[in-house]
């Protein structure tokens, strides 16, 4: 595997379900990010982890819960989502946190909440 | 509220022409600037980064930065139909936060 990978690529879940998104980076980077991309809106930063510590929580509802067990893996745990949470969820990583370094994206998880 | 503005397009150019994409930003403290390409249904792909005033060339792509006027542009020379995509401008104040524009859709017709 190379670059940034995400699983699953597509997810349909009901509002009462609990699911998790997984991201893995194979670049040796030290920072990982979760973004949300909705139609007609700019990418929205959700969470930032730098050296496995959360450094940014961009006013995200508590129904989204991130986890970063090590510098290569990032999870987004989902529970009791709303239909408006349907979007493309993107994971990204960068080499040097806190420096405005280039961020590289995974392929994303297309989430549909029914 | 820090903002990045892009014309949503579509910008239509014939094959072989130069496509010019523009972006303005509100935060004067911005230090790093990026252009991403996003094909429909795919994730953003980094194509250019620029950090200082002037031009930066990479193959058919040239990024231009003017911090005094707070704009950054991307020129694509010899445009190809495969360049048809949405181009996202992103800026950073050298924290972990990237601020994205909504993107400009480029259409290159044969």
- Residue contact B102–A33, C-beta within 8 A: no
Q: Supply the mean pLDDT for chain B.
A: 95
Q: For B49, which of A43, A56, A102 is closest by C-beta distance?
A: A102
What residues of A are in contact with residue B103 (Cβ under 8 Å)? Answer: 42
Measured in degrees and rounded to the nearest 5, phi and psi for residue A98 equal: 70, 15
- Residue contact B96–A41, C-beta within 8 A: no
Quick one: pLDDT at residue B17? 98
Task: Give the residue among A39, A51, A47 at the shortest CA–CA distance from A110.
Answer: A39
Quick one: pLDDT at residue A1? 63
What residues of A are in contact with residue B45 (Cβ under 8 Å)? Answer: 105
pLDDT of residue A57 exceeding 80: no
- Residue contact B92–A100, C-beta within 8 A: yes
Chain segment A10-48, per-residue pLDDT in tens: 999 998 889 999 999 999 999 999 999 998 889 999 999
Chain segment B26-70, per-residue pLDDT in tens: 999 999 999 999 999 999 999 999 999 999 999 999 999 999 999
Separation of alpha carbons B81 and B39, rounded Å: 12
Separation of alpha carbons A62 and A46, rounded Å: 11
Strand A10-13 relative to strand A109-113: parallel, antiparallel, unpaired?
parallel
Quick one: pLDDT at residue A96? 82
Q: Supply the mean pLDDT for chain A.
A: 92
Q: What percent of chain A has pLDDT over 90?
A: 77
What residues of A are in contact with residue B99 (Cβ under 8 Å)? Answer: 42
Chain B closest-CA separation from residue A113 CA (Å): 18
Separation of alpha carbons B58 and B76, rounded Å: 10
Q: Is A32 helix (H, G, I), strand (E, B) or coil?
A: strand
Quick one: pLDDT at residue A99? 80
């Amino acid at each position: 595997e190379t670059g940034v990978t995400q699983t699953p690529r597509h997810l349909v879940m009901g509002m009462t379900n609990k699911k998790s998104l997984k991201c893995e980076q194979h670049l040796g980077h030290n920072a990982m990010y979760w973004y949300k991309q909705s139609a007609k809106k700019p990418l929205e930063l959700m969470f930032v982890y730098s050296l496995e510590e959360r450094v940014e929580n961009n006013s995200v509802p508590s129904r989204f819960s991130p986890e970063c067990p090590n510098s290569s893996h990032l999870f987004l745990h989902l529970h009791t989502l709303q239909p408006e949470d349907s979007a493309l969820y993107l994971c990204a990583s960068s080499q040097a946190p806190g420096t405005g370094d280039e961020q590289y994206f995974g392929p994303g998880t297309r989430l549909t909440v029914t | 509220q820090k903002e990045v503005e892009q014309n949503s397009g579509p910008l239509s150019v014939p094959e072989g022409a130069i496509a010019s994409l523009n972006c303005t930003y509100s935060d004067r403290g911005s230090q790093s600037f990026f252009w991403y390409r996003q094909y429909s249904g795919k994730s953003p792909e980094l194509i250019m980064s620029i950090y200082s005033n002037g031009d930066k060339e990479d193959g058919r792509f040239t990024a231009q930065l003017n911090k005094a006027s707070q704009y950054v542009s991307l020129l694509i020379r010899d445009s190809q139909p495969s360049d048809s995509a949405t181009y996202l401008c992103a800026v950073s104040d050298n924290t972990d936060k990237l601020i994205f524009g909504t993107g400009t859709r480029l259409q290159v017709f044969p």
